[in-house]
Structures are given as structure tokens and as C-alpha cells.
Amino acid sequence: MNEEYGDAYPVEVQWWRPRRVTAADRRPRIAALPGDGIGPEVVAAARRLLDALGEFDVTEHLVGGCSIDEHGTALTDEVLDACAAADAVLLGAVGGPKWESTDPDAPRPEQGLLGLRKGLGLYANLRPVRPSVALAHASPLREDRIRGTDLLVVRELTGGIYFGDRGRADGEAHDTCVYTVEEIDRIARTGFEAARSRAEGGAKGGKVTSVDKANVLETSRLWRETVERLASDYGDVELEHVLVDNAAMQLVSAPARFDVILTENMFGDILSDEAAMLTGSLGMLPSASLGEDRPGLFEPVHGSAPDIVGTGMANPLATFLSVALMLRYGLDRPGDAERVEAAVEAVLERGLRTPDLSWVEPGRPPMSDLPAEVEVGTEEMTDAVIEELQR
Ligand code: NAD
């Protein structure tokens, strides 16, 4: 029992443990949720990638706008049950102009995502940011600034101001930020464990930067206290506290100094988008949302890109990198995860680019040490990654 907090304080909170699936046991079960817009296009590409990697039982289900069209709701109980019974969930994207409405009672595609997060108890959102060397010129930052950047944002996903009491009356509005010690403790453990495993995995690391606003906010002071107390369990991991405004600045001035950024829901929402732009394209960013004893949810960060649906030009790489996270964190196949990541890097080094990646800043001289860029669509990019996997 913890003396200060009594029995309610979870002394043993488990780090994410993938459901272990061995070949002798059964095939890994993946619930695929293609969703809307380019979601089905990138998920179809991911299924081809999975077929090239091994044997997986993949079942597809509706979520988001397509589920609203079919069932009147963005997530049915049957689909949530199917996801809960799977080993991992792979999602494309949801939403689009068809379902945008000012009617507060109209069902919204995003409710599917929130329902999945809640229903699967996904409290940790992981977003790795490792700009590809071959795409360094696509970053809005100078190459010398981003060189060596390899960071992971660990964001708390189910608490804080997004879930607190809110209201509006008499020309006044309020949103309330609430955090419990338990909520902070479990996400902080995720951050420390991630830093430890990155260091063991040979990535630079072993450092947690806990981001808060402890000079102003009481929730941040509880956050800092709780993280600090936990640090004694992780003597091998370096811990620093940085105020959120300072963190936002350092992410663009010296991103390579970070390893694991551990932060609460709203700060994480904003900082992870800022960090994401270091890579230069939305089409490259994967994410994982994890809980305890439940399947994780793996999805590209981008949306349904209604402007390019059906053109065959959607970049599938963020979804492939999400598959890599699924293999690592969801299915306990770190070797396969590394193979996928290496294959993605290899095709970029060969100069292959979907249109979203072929943007070069006007006036910037071409990089002489890289091969010429070749514009390709979803299919060719997928073929090339699979070819690299099979080398
Ligand atoms: P978006 O990410 O869909 O698109 C932004 C821009 O990036 C567009 O120009 C798009 O063509 C481009 N883009 C995005 N992904 C790409 C890819 N894989 N390859 C090539 N180009 C790509 O964001 P948006 O336009 O703000 O939103 C469109 C819809 O998606 C909205 O309905 C929004 O609510 C929804 N959305 C869903 C998610 C999700 O499912 N997790 C996330 C963000 C937005």
C-alpha cells in the first residue's frame, strides 16, 4: 500500500504488454478499420504489406462516416466488440465533407475514434518523430537543426481539460482540467518504460522530458510531483522537467535534444503536431494508442484527405509506419517492425516520392548527393516497399 495515497494508488501499474501471439498458437488477429476518404486506399496498401510479411487474420469493419451511412452511428457495439477481441486494431482515417454538419445532434465520424479510445481504454498516445534523412529538405526547419532528431511524444489521452466539466452561462465559459495521481502515474510509467526500451534498443535515449506548466497550474504541480516520485523506480532513465512554453520553443530550435517527451492531453495534442511538422509531411506520420490488457489502435496521423480521394496519389507510408508500430507494440514482432521501417527508408533513399513529398522549397538548390526524385502513386510506392522487404 502506498502510505500517502492508500489503496487507491496503484503501486503496480503495468507497462504495455502486447498480447503475445506465437506462430504455433494462432495467426495474429487484426481488426482493420479503413474508414473514409483515402482511409480505404491506404489500408488496402497496408494489407498488401502485411501479406508480404507473413500470415495475419485481418477482418474489416466500418467506422466513421461510412458507418453513419450504414448504421446511423459512427461506431456500432458489434465493431467495438470485434476490435476488443482482436490482437490489434489498424485504422485508416475518418471524416469528410459529406458528414460535416452544424446540427449538434447529428452523428459525427470523429465519435467513432472517441468511442474506440474510450471503449478500448487507450490512455497513452505514442507519436514517434524521426525525420527521414532523404526527406530532410522537406522540413520547414534547416537541415542542420533537425539532424539527429529521433524523439517520441507520449501523450496522456483520456484525462485533462478535454474531459473535465465545461459550460457556458451569462457571457462566461469554463473548461476544467482535472488529473488524478493514478492517471499521471500510469502515463508516466509508459514514458519511463518507453525511454528505457528505446535505450535498450540501441536508439539514443534513456531520457524523459516531462512537460508541464507547474509555475501556474495545480494539475501540473501534481503532475510534476507524481513523475518525480516515480523517477526513483527508473534510476537508469534521466528525467528533466520543462515548462510547456519552453518545450514548444526548443522543439524548433533544438529538436535533437529530446528523447521521450511525456506530457498531458492538451499540451501533447499541440506539441505532437508541432513535432510532427519536423518531418515535413503529414503523409509520413504514424501513431499508436495503447491501454492495458486491450488491443492497441494504430493509425496514420493524417485525415481522410478528401481532396485527393480516388486519384491513386495517397501516400501510404504513414500507414506502413503505423503497421510497424503495430508489429512492435501490438504484436510483439519488433524484428518485422524494423524491416518495415528500413524498407520505407530505402524507397525514400531511392528517390521515390508521392506528390505530397515532392515539394521542394522554391529557390533551394537541389541536393547533389541524393538520387533524382521520381513521382509515384500509392500502388507503385507499395510495390517498391514490398520489393525492399523481399530483398
Ligand atoms: P487531412 O490530413 O485529411 O489533409 C490535409 C492535407 O494533407 C490535404 O491536402 C491532404 O490531401 C494531405 N494529405 C493528408 N494525408 C495524405 C496522404 N496520406 N497522402 C497525401 N496527402 C495527404 O486533414 P483535413 O483536410 O484537415 O481533414 C480532412 C478530413 O479528415 C476531415 O473530415 C477531418 O475531420 C478528418 N480527419 C480525420 C483524422 C483521423 O481520422 N484521425 C485526422 C485528421 C482529420
CB 284 within 8 A of CB 357: yes
Read off the pLDDT of residues 19-48 as tens digits, 9 standing for 90 and up: 545 555 789 999 999 999 999 999 999 999
164 to 110, 121, 176: CA distances (angstroms): 19, 17, 5
Read off the pLDDT of residues 137-187 as tens digits, 9 standing for 90 and up: 777 888 888 888 999 999 999 999 988 999 999 999 999 999 999 999 999
Distance 281 CA to ligand 1 centre (A): 11
Tell me, using a 6 A CB cutoff, whether residue 303 lines ligand 1. yes
Tell me, using a 6 A CB cutoff, whether residue 281 lines ligand 1. no
Beta strand spans in 10-150 (E):
29-35, 57-60, 88-93, 124-129
Confidence (pLDDT) at 6: 34
CB 258 within 8 A of CB 210: no
CA atoms within 13 A on the CB side of 331: 31
**In the numeric block, which cell numbers belong to residue 105?**
445532434
Contacts of 349 by beta carbon, 8 Å cutoff, 6+ apart: 133, 134, 370, 371
Q: Report the nearest-CA residue for atom 42 of ligand 1.
A: 303
Distance 191 CA to ligand 1 centre (A): 28
**In the numeric block, which cell numbers belong to residue 218?**
495545480
Tell me, using a 6 A CB cutoff, whether residue 92 lines ligand 1. no
Provide the 3-class DSSP secondary structure of residue 320: helix
| pTM for the whole structure | 0.88
pLDDT for 205 beyond 90 = no
Confidence (pLDDT) at 12: 32
Confidence (pLDDT) at 136: 80
Distance 304 CA to ligand 1 centre (A): 4
* Phi-psi map region of 202: left, alpha, beta (phi>0 left; psi -120 to 50 alpha): left
Tell me, using a 6 A CB cutoff, whether residue 314 lines ligand 1. yes
Burial of 187 per CB tally in 10 Å (0-12, 13-18, 19+)? buried
Residue 243 β-bridge partners:
212
Catalytic residues: 162, 213, 245, 269, 273
Closest CA to 181 of 375, 2, 387: 2
